[in-house]
């Protein structure tokens, strides 16, 4: 009777009958005990199952198997492993069913050491060749990230079926090795096995991992043809996941809507997909929709919306999710707790993050890393103390742990801390193979301008070095204004046959722009064309900017006209500013007129470029109109550089009084840039009174800046007042103000030559000065006179012909 109830799913009735038997004093046999223990396990009443099992005289192997499998299925892997251990201790010989269940429990715990012991026991018992045990071993090694051993187990099995093939494919898919999944799928087909729903799920996972949407769409067509999708939830979820991870969120949502009976995994996949693609608002919306449909959120969905809250720095929404976590009893869980810590850290509420962390029953490396990362940006010493506490608690720091703390040591004043951490990393034997850690170390030394250490560290990193790592070397050098070094690293990258990507090209082009190195920029453009990146929006804008800053505005305009992608405000600005800085004001204004015909709105940079164009060629009326248009038509509040540019337009072309009145009307306090611009205009027109006033303002703000003294001295020199010139010189000496000598450079035969004013130490100084004397003699011979209308850096007076 009990067995009959259990078979038809009436577990409660079976339990009641068992209780009646006990009350009546019936003698229970092994079959009855096993049947009722099985019923309790299926009902999730493992405490009752354990109690009945303890009453069973001499439990047989079937009873042990029920206990082990029951706890494994309930997610109580540790208890299942303990049951297996107790079973071996009492001398019960395990069966293939026993080994399959305990290997599943071991897989859940990813306990490789115990897994190896069970594998050895399977070999000893002669069960390793059994297909059920073999598939369980493959699954266990896959969960322990030992796919090489899983492959050995698979190859060692003489008889193979679709279960074994699917276990191997699933293992590679779980470990993110998409290529191996596809490779073994082909071998499976060649071996005569037909794919089933589990096979398709693994291949779709591989396509998601590789972000190969073309392969995924082909597979989707096969699935539709074989009519797998309509009723299969696993395939439906896998399709949603594949499209989401390939960035095709529209297709992912379409497949999601086609799933007839969605489970929590369906919702998790679509929510995670939106959040990972930066569509946080859509992620919030789908989460709310899931709640309205009565699906109880789990740790995955809650962690995803917490991640979205962190990305948006939406502390309010994050707190709402925190309340929901408390309601469902997950707030102290390891996964959810780590997500809460990360959210509060990224939202700037480090106190709340610390409180959540302290309340967690079990802290993982992830939660500790999240808190360390939060403190690293605010209090480096506290972050290091957390690292020390982590070691005391027996947690081994990961590569991410060190990367979080090292990121805060980028300040040169904290380099000593970073070096100590670097030594500790070496001491622990942590490999540089982790790209994130390697990049953080490299960037730390670059920010401290320790180029020798950078080169040594980079040489120690394993080959082949990734494009991401090479790009970090290039961009980090450019960021700290070591632009030439950045370009040298790009050239080194090419010599190593590493393939640049979008970010690499953008960084290299920025270096060429800064150095005005047209030959290097042209070579990079050639490679961009051959690799197909010329159609990329960011690269096209960078090319426009590079050619403009290198003075080749015609090529800049050509690249702009040939842009396939939609032109954004950066592209338009690059061309406008390029024309402006090279003196083509009419072209800059014409481009602006074309821009107004599109849906692209001009920004602050657009108007700065237009004002610069007007300043260079004296379009005073146009400059006034553009400045007014910026504020009245587009609502853009002028920045200091806009104001300085307007002052330059007025002052450079003789409207000094209007420029003075413009300064007086400013809503902002004039800074050094504004006074320096006005002073320069006064020098140009020899206005000593206004120039003296401007220089006083400038000297008040920048007492050690030599330019204000020099500009005023030049005004006095123009009017012939050499007494005031000498007075200014004496004042500069008294205050210890020195003007840095002027510097220029030229590249000859791929070698850069730098010249400083009055430089007598350059290797070619003799030839340079001999040629200069010859040129001066020729100029005088042609009747050109000298001028003393401005002051030079040195005390000696030089004549410059004009």
The residue extents of the domains of the chain are: 2-219+234-245, 638-739, 743-801
The reported pLDDT for the residue numbered 767 is 82
Count CB atoms within 10 A of the CB of residue 502: 17
Q: Would you say residue 375 has pLDDT above 80? A: yes
CATH architecture of 638-739: Alpha Horseshoe (1.25)
Confidence of residue 379 (pLDDT cuts 50, 70, 90): confident
**Which residues have C-beta within 8 Å of that of residue 605, sequence separation ≥ 6?**
569, 573, 577
In this prediction, residue 11 carries a pLDDT of 55
Cis, bond preceding 464 (omega within 30 deg of 0)? yes
Percentage of the chain beyond pLDDT 70 is 89
Predicted confidence band of residue 5 (pLDDT cuts 50, 70, 90): low
What DSSP assignment string belongs to 301-322? HHHHHHHHHHHHT-HHHHHHHH
| 746 strand-pairing partners | 753
Which whole-number Å values give the CA distances from 781 to 634, 771, 776, 784, in the listed order? 57, 15, 8, 7
Rounded Cα–Cα distance for residues 652 and 657 (Å): 12
What pLDDT band is residue 24 in, cutting at 50, 70 and 90? low
Using pLDDT thresholds of 50, 70 and 90, give the confidence band for residue 440: confident
- In this predicted model, what pLDDT tens digit does every residue of 178-204 receive, in sequence order? 999 999 999 999 999 989 889 999 999
Report the pLDDT value the prediction gives residue 520, as an integer from 0 to 100.
92
pLDDT level of residue 795 (50, 70, 90 thresholds): very low
pLDDT at 53 > cutoff 90: no
pLDDT at 21: 63
pLDDT in tens, 570-599: 889 999 999 998 989 999 999 999 999 998
**Cβ proximity of 577 and 610 under 8 Å:** no
- pLDDT-wise least confident of 55-59, 202-206, 300-304: 55-59
Q: pLDDT tens across 736-787, in order?
A: 666 666 677 676 766 667 777 667 777 777 888 888 888 888 888 887 765 5
Name the residue among 78, 75, 28, 31 with its Cα closest to residue 55. 28
- The mean pLDDT value of the chain amounts to 85
Position 27 pLDDT exceeds 80: no
- CATH number for 2-219+234-245 (one of 1.10.600.10, 3.20.20.80, 1.10.1200.10, 1.25.40.10): it is 1.25.40.10
In three-state secondary structure terms, 717 is helix
pLDDT tens sequence across 447-497: 888 888 888 888 888 888 889 889 988 988 888 888 888 999 999 999 998
Per-residue pLDDT reduced to its tens digit, 229-262? 556 888 999 999 999 999 999 999 999 999 988 8
In this prediction, residues 316-323 reach a mean pLDDT of 92
2-219+234-245 and 638-739: same fold? yes
What is the Cα Rg of the chain in Å?
A: 37
Q: What is the pLDDT of residues 108-136, one digit of tens each?
A: 999 999 999 999 999 999 998 899 999 99
Confidence (pLDDT) at 659:
92
Q: With 70 as the cut, is the pLDDT of residue 523 above it?
A: yes
What confidence tier does 526 reach under pLDDT thresholds 50, 70, 90?
Answer: very high
Per-residue model confidence (pLDDT) at position 137: 95
Read off the pTM: 0.64
Looking at residue 450, what is its pLDDT? Answer: 85
Nearest-angstrom CA–CA distance, 464 and 454: 17
Range 784-791 average pLDDT: 57
Q: Which residues have a Cβ under 8 Å from the Cβ of 238 and sit 6 or more positions away?
A: 200, 201, 204, 205, 208
pLDDT digits (tens, 9 = 90+) for 153-168: 999 998 899 999 999 9
Which of 8-22, 86-100, 556-570, 574-588 shows the lowest per-residue confidence on average (mean pLDDT)? Answer: 8-22
Is residue 272 over pLDDT 90?
A: yes
């Amino acid at each position: 009777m009990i067995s009959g109830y259990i078979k038809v799913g009436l577990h409660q009735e079976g339990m009641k009958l068992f209780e009646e038997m006990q009350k009546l004093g019936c003698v229970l046999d092994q079959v009855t005990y096993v049947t009722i223990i099985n019923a309790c396990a299926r009902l999730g009443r493992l405490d009752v199952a354990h109690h009945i099992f303890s009453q069973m005289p001499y439990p047989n192997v079937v009873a042990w198997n029920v206990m082990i499998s029951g706890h494994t299925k309930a997610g109580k892997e540790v208890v299942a492993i303990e049951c297996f251990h107790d079973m071996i201790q009492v001398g019960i010989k395990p069966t293939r069913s026993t080994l399959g269940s305990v290997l599943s429990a071991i897989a859940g715990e990813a306990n490789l050491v115990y897994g190896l012991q069970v594998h050895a026991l399977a070999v000893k018992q002669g069960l390793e060749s059994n297909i059920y045990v073999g598939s369980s071993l493959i699954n266990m090694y896959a969960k322990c990230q030992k796919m090489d051993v899983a492959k050995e187990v698979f190859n060692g099995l003489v008889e193979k079926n679709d279960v074994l093939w699917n276990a191997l494919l699933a293992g590679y898919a779980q470990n993110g090795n998409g290529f191996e999944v596809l490779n073994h799928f082909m071998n499976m087909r060649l071996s005569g096995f037909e794919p089933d729903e589990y096979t398709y799920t693994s291949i779709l996972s591989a396509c998601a991992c590789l972000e190969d949407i073309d392969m995924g769409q082909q597979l989707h067509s096969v699935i539709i043809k074989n009519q797998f999708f309509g009723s299969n939830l696993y395939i439906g979820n896998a399709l949603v996941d594949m499209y989401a991870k390939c960035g095709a969120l529209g297709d992912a949502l379409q497949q999601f809507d086609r799933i007839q009976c969605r489970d929590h995994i369906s919702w998790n996949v679509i929510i995670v997909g939106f959040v990972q693609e930066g569509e946080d608002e859509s992620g919030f919306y789908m989460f709310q929709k899931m709640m309205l449909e009565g699906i109880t959120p789990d740790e995955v969905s809650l962690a995803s919306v917490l991640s979205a809250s962190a990305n948006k720095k939406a502390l309010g929404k994050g707190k709402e999710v925190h309340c929901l976590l408390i309601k469902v009893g997950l707030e102290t869980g390891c996964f959810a707790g780590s997500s809460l810590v990360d959210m509060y850290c990224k939202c700037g509420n480090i106190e709340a993050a610390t409180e959540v962390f302290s309340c967690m029953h079990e802290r993982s490396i992830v939660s500790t890393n999240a808190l360390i990362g939060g403190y690293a940006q605010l209090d480096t010493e506290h972050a290091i103390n957390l690292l020390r506490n982590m070691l005391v608690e027996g947690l081994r720091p990961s590569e991410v742990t060190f990367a979080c703390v090292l990121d805060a040591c980028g300040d040169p004043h904290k380099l000593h801390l970073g070096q100590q951490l670097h030594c500790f990393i070496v001491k622990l034997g942590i490999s540089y193979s982790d790209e994130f850690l390697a990049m953080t170390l490299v960037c730390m030394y670059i920010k401290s301008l320790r180029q020798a250490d950078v080169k040594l560290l980079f040489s120690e990193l394993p080959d082949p070095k990734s494009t991401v790592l090479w790009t970090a070397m290039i961009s980090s050098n450019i960021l700290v204004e070591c632009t030439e070094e950045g370009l040298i690293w790009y050239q080194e990258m090419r010599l190593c046959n590493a393939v640049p990507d979008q970010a690499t090209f953008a960084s290299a082009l920025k270096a060429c722009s800064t150095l005005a190195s047209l030959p290097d920029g042209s070579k990079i453009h050639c490679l961009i064309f051959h690799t197909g990146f010329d159609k990329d929006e960011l690269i096209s804008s960078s090319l426009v900017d590079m050619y403009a800053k290198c003075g080749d505005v015609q090529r800049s305009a050509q690249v702009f006209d040939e842009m396939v992608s939609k032109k954004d405000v950066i592209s338009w600005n690059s061309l406008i500013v390029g024309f402006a800085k090279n003196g083509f004001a009419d072209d800059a204004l014409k481009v602006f007129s074309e821009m107004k015909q599109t849906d692209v709105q001009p920004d602050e940079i657009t108007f700065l470029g237009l004002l610069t164009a007007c300043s260079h060629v004296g379009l005073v009326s146009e400059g006034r109109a553009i400045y007014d248009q910026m504020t009245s038509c587009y609502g853009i509040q002028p920045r200091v550089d806009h104001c300085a540019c307007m002052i330059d337009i007025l002052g450079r072309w003789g409207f000094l009084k209007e420029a003075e009145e413009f300064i007086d009307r400013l809503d902002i306090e004039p800074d050094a840039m504004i006074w320096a611009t006005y002073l320069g205009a006064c020098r140009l027109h020899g206005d000593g009174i206004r120039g003296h006033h401007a220089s006083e303002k400038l000297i008040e703000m920048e007492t050690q800046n030599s330019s204000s003294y020099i500009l005023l001295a030049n005004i006095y020199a123009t009017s012939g007042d050499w007494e005031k010139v000498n007075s200014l010189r004496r004042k500069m000496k008294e205050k210890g103000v020195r003007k840095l000598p002027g510097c220029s450079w030229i590249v000859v035969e791929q070698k850069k030559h730098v010249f400083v004013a009055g430089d007598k130490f350059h290797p070619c100084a003799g030839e340079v000065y001999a040629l200069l004397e010859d040129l001066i003699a020729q100029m005088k011979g042609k009747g050109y006179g000298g001028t003393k209308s401005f002051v030079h850096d040195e005390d000696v007076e030089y004549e410059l012909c004009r």
